[in-house]
Structure 1
Amino acid sequence: MKPLTVEAVDPHAPQDLGAFRNVRAWIFDLDNTLYPRETDLFRQVDQRIRTFVQNLLGVDEAEAQRIQKSFYRDHGTTLRGLMLNHQVDPDAFLEFVHDIDHSVVRPDPVLGAAILRLPGKKYIFTNGSRRHAEKVAARLGFPEHFEDIFDIAAANLVPKPERETYDRFVARFGVDPAQAAMFEDLARNLVVPKAVGMRTVLVVPPGTREVFHGEWEFEGRDDDHVDYVTDDLGRFVGEIAGAIGA
C-alpha cells in the first residue's frame, strides 16, 4: 500500500469543515499533536525509553532501539511490550521516561484561543502519563482548557490503537462518537475513531512529504479513515471554529 503523503492530501487546500458543526467532544492526542513535531520533545522521551530498555535488559543501544521499536510496532507502546514480555513496573517506567526537559515546549496562544472557541468539551487522550500531559499543557499556556486528561493509566495500560481503549474513553466521559472529533499525528490511531463515527484529523509536520517513515504503520490500513489533514493545528482549529460559527 502506498503511504499517505502530504503530497497526496494537501493540508492547505480549502476543505469543507461543515462536518464539525455537531461536534461536542474534541479529543486531542498530546505528543507531536498539541505541540509541533519540530519541538523535538518526544525525542527526549524516545531516548529515555531506549536507556530504560538498555538498563533493564543489559543490551547495547542498537539492540535496545530494535527492541523498543519492535515492541512499539507490535503492542502500541514500548511499555506494553515490556509489561507483556518482561513484567516491567509501569509506574517506574513512566516516571523514568517522562523525566525530561519540558522547557523546549513554547506557548501557543493561537492554538489556545482556537480551542477555547470550540463548543462543548475538550480532552487530551494520550498513551503517556497524566503528569507529562499536564506539564506540556502548562508550557503551551492552556492548562485549564481541557475537561480532563485520559492517560495510559486511565486506559488500564492498554494503549491506542486498541479498540478497548477507545471504548473505555467513550464510556468514562459519556462521549457520543457521532458528535466527536479526534486529532492525531499517527494515522493508525485514527482507524477506530473513524470506524465508530468520529471525525478524524491527521496532524503532520510542515513541509514533510511522507507523513511517516515506517511502512508497518500502513499495513492493512486504508487512507479513508483520515478525514482531514493539517500541518498547522492552530490555524486548522481556528478555521473549524470560524466555519461552524463558534
Structure 2
Amino acid sequence: MTKPLPVRSRFAEIDTWVFDLDNTLYPQTADLWPKIDARITLFMMRLFGLDAISLRALQKHYYRQYGTTLRGLMTEHGIDAEAYLAFVHDIDRSSLAHNHSLAEAIAALPGRKLILTNGSRHHAVETAKQLGIDHVFEDIFDIIAAEFIAKPDEGAYMRFFEKLKIEPTRAAIFEDIDRNLVVPHARGMTTVLVLPAHDEGPEREAWEISTGDEPHVDFVTDDLVAFLEGLLK
C-alpha cells in the first residue's frame, strides 16, 4: 500500500535522493537491527558490569533522548565511539538477499543517490553490498561524518547539507522513523516515510510507531520499490 500516491510533479525538480539505511533499504522484519540492538546491550553489559534487564531501560532512554544510544554513552560516560561502532556492527548479514528490483529502481532515479545513516560507513557499505545495491550510491554520510551528532538533531542534517553540497528544496529523503523527517521537512526536503508492510511486525517502542499522518510526512509507502518505480512511469 502506498498513500497518498506518488505525485510525480512533486518530484520533478528533485536531483538528490537520500535514503536512511536500517529498516528503510531492507525489510523491517529483517534480523539485522535486532542483532545490532543485542550487541548494543552486550557492549553496555561489559561497560557497566550489569545484566541485560537492568540496562535495557537505560539503553532505550539514551536512544530516545539523544537519537542514538552511542550519543548518550558519549555524552554521559565518554566512551570510545569508534570502538563502540565496530563492536555493535560486528554482525552476520547473510540473511539479507540481493534486491535487484531496488537496485534498478534507485539507479533509474535522476541525479545523486546518497545514504544518510546514524550507523557507521562500514556498516552501510557491508549492508548495501549484501543487498546488491552498493554500486548505485554516490556516497554515504555516517555518524562519524556528522561528528557524532545523530538524527533527528538538526546539526546532523546541517552537516550533511554543507559537506555534500545539498540544496534541500531539490532533495527527497526516505526514512522509517517519522521524527527523523521533522528537520528535513522544515528545510524544504520532500519527505517519504517507509512503513513496514502489512504482514510485517518489527519490534518498536510505542513512541516510534507512526501512522504517517504527521505534518512533516509528505508521502507514505510500505513498498519502497513500487513507490520509486511509480515515480518513473
Q: Give TM-score, length-normalised by structure 2.
A: 0.94
Change in Cα spacing, 1:49 to 1:157, as seen in structure 2 (3 Å) is same
Distance 1:130 1:40 in 2: 19
In structure 2, the residue matched to 1:79 is 70
Q: Structure 1 residues 164-173 or 15-24, which shifts more?
A: 15-24
Distance 2:80 2:135 in 1: 31
Matched, 1:177 2:178: no
Distance 1:192 1:142 in 2: 27
Unpaired segments of 5 or more residues in structure 2? none
C-alpha contact (below 8 Å) 1:76/1:160 kept by paired residues: yes
Amino acid at match of 1:55: R
Amino acid at match of 2:148: L
Matched, 1:139 2:134: no
C-alpha contact (below 8 Å) 1:130/1:149 kept by paired residues: yes
In structure 1, the residue matched to 2:116 is 125
In structure 2, the residue matched to 1:93 is 84
Distance 2:201 2:29 in 1: 15
C-alpha contact (below 8 Å) 1:188/1:218 kept by paired residues: no
Q: Output one character per residue of 1:68-118: Cα deviation in whole Å (capped at 9) or x when no partner.
A: 100000000000000011111001100000000011111111110000110
Distance 2:57 2:186 in 1: 32
Amino acid at match of 1:214: E
Q: Superposition RMSD on alpha carbons, in Å?
A: 2.1
Within a 5 Å distance, the mapping from 1:47-66 to structure 2 comes to: 47-66=38-57
Q: Compute the displacement of 1:211 (Å).
A: 9.2
Amino acid at match of 2:138: E
In structure 2, the residue matched to 1:37 is 28
C-alpha contact (below 8 Å) 1:127/1:152 kept by paired residues: yes
Q: Compute the displacement of 1:14 (Å).
A: 3.4
Matched, 1:189 2:180: yes
Amino acid at match of 1:37: Q
Amino acid at match of 1:125: L
In structure 2, the residue matched to 1:236 is 227
SS in 1 for 2:197: coil
Q: Structure 1 residues 205-214 or 113-122, which shifts more?
A: 205-214
C-alpha contact (below 8 Å) 1:51/1:64 kept by paired residues: no
In structure 2, the residue matched to 1:4 is none
Distance 1:96 1:190 in 2: 28
Number of paired residues? 232
C-alpha contact (below 8 Å) 1:204/1:211 kept by paired residues: no
Q: Compute the displacement of 1:58 (Å).
A: 1.1
Change in Cα spacing, 1:209 to 1:138, as seen in structure 2 (3 Å) is closer
In structure 1, the residue matched to 2:152 is 161
Change in Cα spacing, 1:12 to 1:177, as seen in structure 2 (3 Å) is closer
Amino acid at match of 1:44: K
Q: Which runs of 4+ in 1 moved over 2 A?
A: 10-17, 208-219
SS in 1 for 2:140: strand
Distance 2:16 2:27 in 1: 22
Amino acid at match of 1:33: T
C-alpha contact (below 8 Å) 2:23/2:33 kept by paired residues: yes
Amino acid at match of 2:128: A
Residue among 19, 41, 49 paired with 1:28: 19
